[in-house]
């Protein structure tokens, strides 16, 4: 008997080679090649994407209303204004984070609007899905359920029923019979996603794919999977925290800077319409080392608390930790304080934390980190109604940040009457009920703690 030919695929980028290699020539990652059998198939053009004749750009028409609102405002915001008809969306996240719960809640809202939905699960039985649906609440409309992992059967069912929305939970459990590899392998994931993409584009069906994530936090399978889909969403959150964040890392139909905030409760996920209030719950008053800042997530300003604890070290090397922000950025800011203000930080342990579990890496957090460090170092609290934001350079200058006016407006809504911000931003902000204090250099803020 003839031996089946195999090739090697890179799990990260999908690079194909005839032999195993330690480093992938495509993405330069090490030890990512896996052996897969060669796939021999005939191209099926039933739901092809190509047009029989080329068209002029001026003749192509677009309809701005080709979106379906899910009824979940936080979800619609991240998608860019709703579900685009014929789109392919990948939803990733840690196990148990709430991916299936979110999509089932979306199905409940859409089924109430008489949208035809097909929910396909390869991991759970129909009874398990029913139990989760009963926990979420009553379904007024009809929802079609299918427990199947054979993609050929799934494709036939989709073509027969022609639903508007299809949920695939999850892509790692789906397989195609003429591919010899196991479900979840590079070949299976790549080929099944390609077939689903042709179905979505050719039939005008919006398909949501649930993907498992690796220990590094990225979707399992070949990296080419993220390039094939239209939108990639990540559902994030600490296992011990009640809130969840839906973030778009790729979106062909909207911004990738928007986030949706949810709170996990007994009856499912609940939208958090005011994330600033939610993040500031339990904030201590009159305590040194606690400073509130305004961060931008897309077009939405969110107020968060930055905490710092500075104490004398008992070791030869001071201990530095940072939770929720960049560790190297904290070390840089402490070096600026030591050089420009003459504060001896070399013998101090520093612990920086963004309260609530938020992860913020934007430069506008710099001024809040410096203020929190100075407050803890001098053991003097900042006024409870004062907020600050701004980027700090290596010479100690406070540089401008984007969307400063939106940050100031959000601070006023949350009851803050004083805002410390870069002087350049202050000059460009109109009349406001909030007192604005412009800062050009960090030497100007040291008087607040003297």
Q: Any binding-site annotation on 412? A: no
Residues whose CB falls within 8 Å of the CB of residue 416, separated by 6 or more in sequence, listed in order: 292, 385, 386, 387, 434
Is 39 annotated to bind a ligand? Reply is: no
202 carries a ligand binding annotation: no
CA 205 from chain centre, in angstroms, equals 24
Query: What's the CA gap between 36 and 327, in Å, rounded?
Result: 40
Would you say 54 is a known binding-site residue? no
Would the annotation count 221 as a binding residue?
A: no
Please tell me whether 94 is known to bind a ligand: yes
Tokens of 308: 């710092």
> H or E segment at 302?
strand 300-312
List Cα–Cα distances, 42 to 79, 193, 251, in angstroms: 35, 17, 31
**DSSP secondary structure string for all residues of 56-111:** -GGG----TT-EE--S-HHHHHHHTSSEETT-EEEEEE-TTSSHHHHHHHHHHHHH
- Is 97 marked as binding a ligand? yes
Contact 243, 262 (CB under 8 A): yes
- Helices (H) and strands (E) counted in the chain, each on its own, are 11, 23
Q: Is 194 annotated as a binding residue?
A: no
Q: Indicate the annotated binding residues.
A: 93-100
Q: Indicate the annotated binding residues for ATP.
A: 93-100
């Amino acid at each position: 008997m003839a031996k089946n030919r195999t090739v090697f695929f890179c799990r990260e980028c999908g690079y194909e080679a005839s032999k195993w290699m330690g480093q992938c020539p495509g993405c330069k990652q090490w030890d990512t090649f896996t052996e897969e059998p060669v796939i021999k198939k005939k191209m099926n053009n039933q739901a092809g994407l190509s047009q029989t004749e080329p068209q002029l750009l001026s003749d192509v028409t677009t309809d701005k209303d080709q979106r379906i609102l899910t009824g979940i405002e936080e979800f619609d915001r991240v998608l860019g204004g709703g579900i685009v008809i014929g789109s392919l969306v990948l939803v990733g996240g840690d196990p148990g984070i709430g991916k299936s719960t979110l999509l089932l809640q979306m199905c409940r809202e859409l089924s109430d609007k008489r949208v035809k939905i097909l929910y396909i699960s390869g991991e759970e039985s129909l009874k398990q899905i029913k139990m989760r649906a009963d926990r979420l609440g009553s379904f007024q409309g009809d929802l079609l359920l299918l427990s199947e992992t054979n993609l050929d059967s799934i494709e036939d069912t989709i073509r027969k029923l022609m639903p508007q929305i299809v949920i695939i939970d999850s892509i790692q459990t789906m397989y195609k019979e003429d591919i010899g590899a196991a479900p979840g392998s590079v070949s299976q994931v790549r080929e099944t996603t390609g077939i689903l993409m042709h179905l979505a584009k050719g039939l005008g069906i919006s398909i949501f794919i649930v993907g498992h994530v690796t220990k590094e936090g990225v979707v399992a399978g070949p990296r080419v999977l993220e390039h094939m889909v239209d939108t990639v969403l990540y559902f994030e959150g600490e296992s011990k925290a009640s809130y969840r964040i839906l973030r778009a890392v790729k979106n062909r139909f909207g911004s990738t800077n928007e986030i949706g905030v949810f709170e996990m409760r007994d009856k499912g996920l609940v939208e958090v319409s005011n994330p600033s209030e939610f993040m500031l719950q339990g904030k201590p008053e009159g305590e040194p080392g606690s400073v509130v800042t305004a961060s931008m997530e897309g077009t939405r300003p969110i107020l968060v608390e930055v905490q710092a604890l500075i104490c004398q070290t008992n070791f030869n090397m001071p201990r530095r930790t940072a939770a929720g922000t960049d560790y190297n950025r904290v070390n840089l800011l402490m070096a600026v304080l030591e050089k420009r203000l003459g504060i001896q930080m070399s013998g101090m342990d520093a612990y920086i934390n963004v309260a609530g579990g938020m992860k913020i890496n934007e430069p506008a957090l710099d001024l809040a980190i410096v203020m929190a460090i100075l407050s803890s170092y001098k053991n003097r609290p900042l006024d409870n109604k004062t907020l600050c934001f701004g980027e700090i350079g290596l010479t100690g200058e406070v540089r401008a940040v984007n969307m400063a006016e939106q940050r100031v407006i959000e601070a006023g809504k949350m009851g803050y009457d004083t805002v410390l911000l870069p002087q350049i931003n202050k000059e460009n902000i109109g009349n406001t009920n909030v007192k604005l204090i412009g800062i050009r250099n960090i030497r100007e803020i040291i008087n607040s703690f003297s």
